[in-house]
Amino acid sequence: MPPVQQPDQSAPAQVSATGAPFVAADGDRDPRAQSGDVLTSPQGVRIPDTDHSLKAGRRGPILLEDFHLREKISHFDHERIPERAVHARGAGAHGVFTSYGTAGDLTRAGVLAEKDLETPVFVRFSTVLGSRGAADSVRDTRGFAVKFYTQEGNWDLVGNNMPVFFIQEAIKFPDLIHAAKPSPDREIPSAQSAHDSFWDFVSLHTEATHHTLWNMSDRGIPRSYRMMEGFGVHSFRLVNAAGETVLVQFKWTPKLGVHSLTWEEAQIAAGVDPDFHRRDLADAIEAGAFPEWELGVQVFEDNEEQTFQGIDLLDSTKIVPEELVPVQPIGRLVLNANPTNYFAETEQVAFNTAHVVPGIEFSNDPLLQGRNFSYQDTQLTRLGGPNWTQLPINRPQVSVNDNHRDGFMQQGIPTGRTGYHPNSIDGGSPAPAEQGGYTNVPRPVSGEVVRGVDASFDDHFSQPAMFYASLSDVEKTHTIEAYTFELGKVYEQSIKERVLGVLVNIDADLAAQVAEGLGLPVPEGATAEHLAPSPALAQVTGESFPADGRQVGVVAGPDADIAGIATLRAALEAAGAQVKVIAPRGGLIGTGASTEVVERTNVTARSIEFDAIVVAGGAPKDGDIKAVVLLQEAFRQLKPFAAWGDGVDVLTAAGIDTGSPGVLTGADASDVAADLLTTMGLHRVWERADLVTASAVPPAA
């Protein structure tokens, strides 16, 4: 018999600097989780057979005394916990936030103020509407929630990839979500806003116009979690060491730029790879292409009005254009580790807008104030009681002595005889903090008890009009197509007409084109007056970005130019991109020492996976229809193409004009590699858009 390894019950449970479960020197994990190499019962009793139950005779009934059967099945029966009411589907990662120190005069929070201070973080990205098993690529807002394990306790910045929200008051959240989630009778559609009740609500409730427009723009279908901005949405109050305050709005800017899928890609991905975004995030981190964002703040005077040039800073349906108040960089976030266990980390992580540290306070934004109640409350049901803060992923990485006691799933073993303050029995421990405690900056509060908001909250159209005017032409076309698609799925004619009546306030041409596409009369009205367009709101700007984690598919055949593929691979991988060979069959291509592994076949490859397509010299000319579909789809999706040698003929045979913009050809691989990287930096070949965008909307008469 081999020696039996005993679980180490003596070692204290710990969390590593990244928040990942502690791994002991002998390779054991947190001893309270799975440890040791021998199968045991939950009580640590070694189990020699887990495949057969205990019976009265080999053909007889199962005995109740089979505790292993009962424990195994019973634990399985209770594996599921309620999914989040919203943001149920998500993907997470560990990382580090490094402060630039530039916010030192704004806040006393060390996480933002101390130059070069590194703070471990856990980030969870999510969709809002879909359930846990829904597709990643649906049109929706994305969550961008960050838990900072600071030296002063946990701070949660629970934001979205859009800077505005559908509603101004938290009390309307149940209405919004009931309207947007699937219908109560058939539970259709899953994870989508293209249905009657969503459009019914947002057209009756016009403060939702701005956020709805962001969803219909390309922001609603991000290319990758790595390529999204993040916004705190509300104004927060920062307090410095001298007790001076400012209002700020937080923004995460991705190093890789802001990029989106096309609607066709989003639809294909929902079927071909529902895990599109979570796979992209995990693969990039595993490949060492660590996603990166810069955190910035727009800073406003904390005066009595709490407005900036008439824009109400307490109204979460409004933004202040960056051209008027620039975003000041204050730190850098790098995601550098995938979770070890999805459930323990990504599912059990629990964010709360009310988790703040000294130097960070709230504004009176009624949406934020209501959220501060909701997040704690929702965890009680989702995680089964008040001790969810003790779960490894939620535990602060500083000492905790909160005097809380008992409750479901208490993980700690409190010492001493008191759980109250003041006490003399335990020597007064824990004592109130004399230094570094969370204190609120004194601020006057007055007013009559009312249910209502200021008149400035009634302006629902000037900001969406500004947003639409700021988009590039190609983004405007996509937005028109999105409205036309979504409203095309609505059954009630009156709802469609009401939405058109709203759209005319955003932009008369937008309303006219959508009406045309729906075959409805163009509504009367005019674009609302608005501020000057904000160039920072457009995505397609001609700016170029790094290729980190971008996927390049190389179509090759058994006789492919293997040396050429190696040259291309070396050039692209040096720039951070990843290369996958696609061939008719799996296995290896090439001979001897000179081979390439086929990572995708014509059966498993689909256009959505790749940011660019290359056809290698010596490529197959068998005209496999699946390869032709791949090439044509990728061309239509405006992806960069390259081909060398007789690979060029494969493109021609697939009906692709090799003289089109963004199709690079050459005699060998080294002729195309550098230009391909440059073209990929622009995300898509936008010059091709007019040639290939199959507009859902016929041109207005």
Q: Which residues are catalytic?
A: 87, 160
Q: Which among 73-81, 374-382, 511-519, 690-698 is the span making contact with ligand HDE, rule CB under 6 A? A: 374-382
Number of residues that bind ligand HDE (CB under 6 A): 25
Pattern 231-250, binding to ligand HDE, x per CB under 6 A? --x-----------------
Residues 454-493 that bind ligand HDE (CB under 6 A): none
Q: Which among 165-173, 563-571, 641-649, 686-694 is the span making contact with ligand HDE, rule CB under 6 A? A: 165-173
Q: Which among 372-380, 524-532, 547-555, 589-597 is the span making contact with ligand HDE, rule CB under 6 A? A: 372-380
Nearer to ligand HDE, 138 or 605 (CB): 138
- Pair 579, 573: CB distance under 8 Å: yes
142-150 and 153-160 beta bridge pairing: antiparallel
Element (H, E) at 297: strand 292-301
> Would you count residue 86 as binding ligand HDE (CB under 6 A)?
yes
Among candidate residues 658, 667, 665, 666, the one with its CA nearest the CA of residue 688: 658
Closest residue to ligand HDE, judged by C-beta, is: 143
> Would you count residue 173 as binding ligand HDE (CB under 6 A)?
yes
- Pair 426, 283: CB distance under 8 Å: no
> Would you count residue 289 as binding ligand HDE (CB under 6 A)?
no
Residues 297-316 that bind ligand HDE (CB under 6 A): 316
**How many whole angstroms separate alpha carbon 247 and alpha carbon 298?**
8
Element (H, E) at 137: none
Q: Which among 79-87, 190-198, 248-256, 400-408 is the span making contact with ligand HDE, rule CB under 6 A? A: 79-87
| Binding residue (CB under 6 A) for ligand HDE from 21, 90, 110, 590 | 90
- Pair 235, 300: CB distance under 8 Å: yes
- Pair 352, 362: CB distance under 8 Å: no
Nearer to ligand HDE, 365 or 611 (CB): 365
Nearer to ligand HDE, 393 or 547 (CB): 393
- Pair 487, 453: CB distance under 8 Å: no
Nearer to ligand HDE, 90 or 553 (CB): 90
- Pair 653, 621: CB distance under 8 Å: yes
90-99 and 118-127 beta bridge pairing: antiparallel
CB of 392 to ligand HDE, least distance (A): 16
Among candidate residues 486, 539, 476, 462, the one with its CA nearest the CA of residue 513: 476
Pattern 120-159, binding to ligand HDE, x per CB under 6 A? ----x-x----------------x-x------------xx
- Pair 221, 269: CB distance under 8 Å: no
> Would you count residue 356 as binding ligand HDE (CB under 6 A)?
no
CA 513 to chain centre: 31
CB of 176 to ligand HDE, least distance (A): 8
Nearer to ligand HDE, 248 or 605 (CB): 248
Q: Which among 85-93, 103-111, 454-462, 565-573 is the span making contact with ligand HDE, rule CB under 6 A? A: 85-93
- Pair 579, 569: CB distance under 8 Å: yes
Element (H, E) at 125: strand 118-127
In the block, tokens 């932009």 appear at 507
> Would you count residue 110 as binding ligand HDE (CB under 6 A)?
no
What is the separation, in whole angstroms, between the first and last Cα of the chain?
85
| Binding residue (CB under 6 A) for ligand HDE from 329, 370, 430, 666 | 370
Nearer to ligand HDE, 105 or 175 (CB): 175
> Would you count residue 374 as binding ligand HDE (CB under 6 A)?
yes
Question: Residue 395, exposed/middle/buried by CB under 10 A (0-12, 13-18, 19+)?
Answer: middle
CB of 558 to ligand HDE, least distance (A): 47
Nearer to ligand HDE, 350 or 608 (CB): 350
CB of 345 to ligand HDE, least distance (A): 11
| Binding residue (CB under 6 A) for ligand HDE from 68, 87, 251, 688 | 87
Nearer to ligand HDE, 158 or 515 (CB): 158
- Pair 215, 467: CB distance under 8 Å: no
Among candidate residues 267, 262, 257, the one with its CA nearest the CA of residue 634: 262
Per-residue b/e over 428-462, b at no fewer than 16 CB within 10 Å?
eeeeeeeeeeeeeeeeeeeeeeeeeeeeebebbbb
> Would you count residue 223 as binding ligand HDE (CB under 6 A)?
no
| Binding residue (CB under 6 A) for ligand HDE from 16, 40, 151, 378 | 378
> Would you count residue 367 as binding ligand HDE (CB under 6 A)?
yes
Q: Which among 291-299, 321-329, 368-376, 468-476 is the span making contact with ligand HDE, rule CB under 6 A? A: 368-376
**How many whole angstroms separate alpha carbon 359 and alpha carbon 111?**
10
CB of 495 to ligand HDE, least distance (A): 24
Q: How many residues does the chain have?
A: 701
> Would you count residue 351 as binding ligand HDE (CB under 6 A)?
yes
In the block, tokens 């980030």 appear at 123
> Hey, is 657 helix, strand or coil?
coil
- Pair 307, 457: CB distance under 8 Å: no
Cis? peptide before 422, omega within 30° of 0: yes
Nearer to ligand HDE, 156 or 548 (CB): 156
> Would you count residue 384 as binding ligand HDE (CB under 6 A)?
no
- Pair 630, 619: CB distance under 8 Å: no
> Would you count residue 101 as binding ligand HDE (CB under 6 A)?
no
> Would you count residue 517 as binding ligand HDE (CB under 6 A)?
no
Pattern 410-449, binding to ligand HDE, x per CB under 6 A? ----------------------------------------
| Binding residue (CB under 6 A) for ligand HDE from 160, 397, 551, 567 | 160
Nearer to ligand HDE, 306 or 353 (CB): 353
- Pair 97, 295: CB distance under 8 Å: yes
Question: Residue 605, exposed/middle/buried by CB under 10 A (0-12, 13-18, 19+)?
Answer: buried
Identify the DSSP state of 477: H
Among candidate residues 119, 124, 121, 120, the one with its CA nearest the CA of residue 145: 124
Interface residues with ligand HDE (CB under 6 A) are 84-87, 90, 124, 126, 143, 145, 158-160, 165, 170, 173, 233, 316, 350-351, 367, 370-371, 374-375, 378
